[in-house]
Structure formats: C-alpha cells, structure tokens
Structure 1
Amino acid sequence: MSDLKQIFEAAMSRLRLTGSRSAITQEQALRLHALHLQALHGDAASQRMTFADLDERSRHEAWIRLRGMSRDDAMRRYIAEVEDIFALQRRA
C-alpha cells in the first residue's frame, strides 16, 4: 500500500473515530464525501441519474464536479480538508 493511501485511510479513520463529523458543516461533509468517492472510484457516471432523495442527488452532483481529478489528487485534497477541520477545532 502506498504512503498516500495509508495517510488517506488514517484521515478517514480519524474523522470517523473522533466524532468530528457532527462538528463539520454540510458543505464540508459534501466536499469530503465527493473527494472520498473520487479517491476510491475515480470519475462519477456521466449520465444524469434520477434520485428520489435530494441529499443523494447533491452528493452525486458534488462528485460529478470532481470529474477529471486524479485519485491521488482527491486523496491529497481529502487529507488536507480533514487536517483543516482539526486545526480549526483546536483553535476553537
């Protein structure tokens, strides 16, 4: 496993285990979700899907906006976002 992937997985675990998800904004959660999907799966399906759930549609559209970003870049941005969240919490 690459160092980047290990750091990415550590960032996911840190966010999940500390309960910080409840302390982040909806916008941050949406960005993190999209970056997570881009890092793991690459580009989202290009066709417009129909979603009964507006939240699910918002998450998919956020992922679509990352189209073309490499998986490694998505991991780096996810890690940076998590680090920013924890830095802000320490200052508060």
Structure 2
Amino acid sequence: MTTMQLNKEMNRIPEADVELLKIMAHPVRLQIVKELERRKVCNVTQLTELLNIPQSTVSQHLSKMRGKILRSERKGLEMYYYIANSKACQIVNVLSL
C-alpha cells in the first residue's frame, strides 16, 4: 500500500458517522438532542412543551432518530426517550448549541 493510499484510508469517514450526521441535519433534531442531553429522559409531551412545536412534529423527528441516536422505554401509556449514541451529544456540543 502506498503512502497516498494509506492516507486516504486513514481519512475515510465511517459510514455510521455519515449516517448520524444525515439524521442530525435538522434544527429540531439538534434541539431534541440538546434537551435530552440536559434532562436525560423526556416523553413527547415534555419535548413538545420545551420546544414549543406541535406534538406531531416532535413525534416525526423522534421516529427518524429512534434506533441510531435515541432509545425509548415505555412507562405506562407514555414512551420516554433518551440518548443512546454519545456522538450525537458531541455534535451538539461542537456546534455550541
């Protein structure tokens, strides 16, 4: 392997990181991560009140982040969300949000 090939290989961004950035590339999703980082666990109603946006909008964004960034846990009738991917918090912190 040549030095140039080695440098290219070392500079390659992992596909999982690219996917994470694509998912996070929306202001509402960044705000959701910021609030969950601060509060640790929230349900949809709490996030709706904190972000002052419609419940359907919050739910839509949560569904896009579930699995790769967030996890959820049912408690009674409510689903509670928490951050499962620490890189999401790092992105928010780098952006100084």
Q: Which has the higher helix share?
A: 1
Which has the higher relative contact order, 1 or 2, with Cα contacts under 8 A spaced 6 or more apart?
1
Q: TM-score, with normalisation over the residues of structure 1?
A: 0.35
Q: Which has the higher strand share?
A: 2
Q: TM-score, with normalisation over the residues of structure 2?
A: 0.34
Higher alpha-carbon Rg: 2
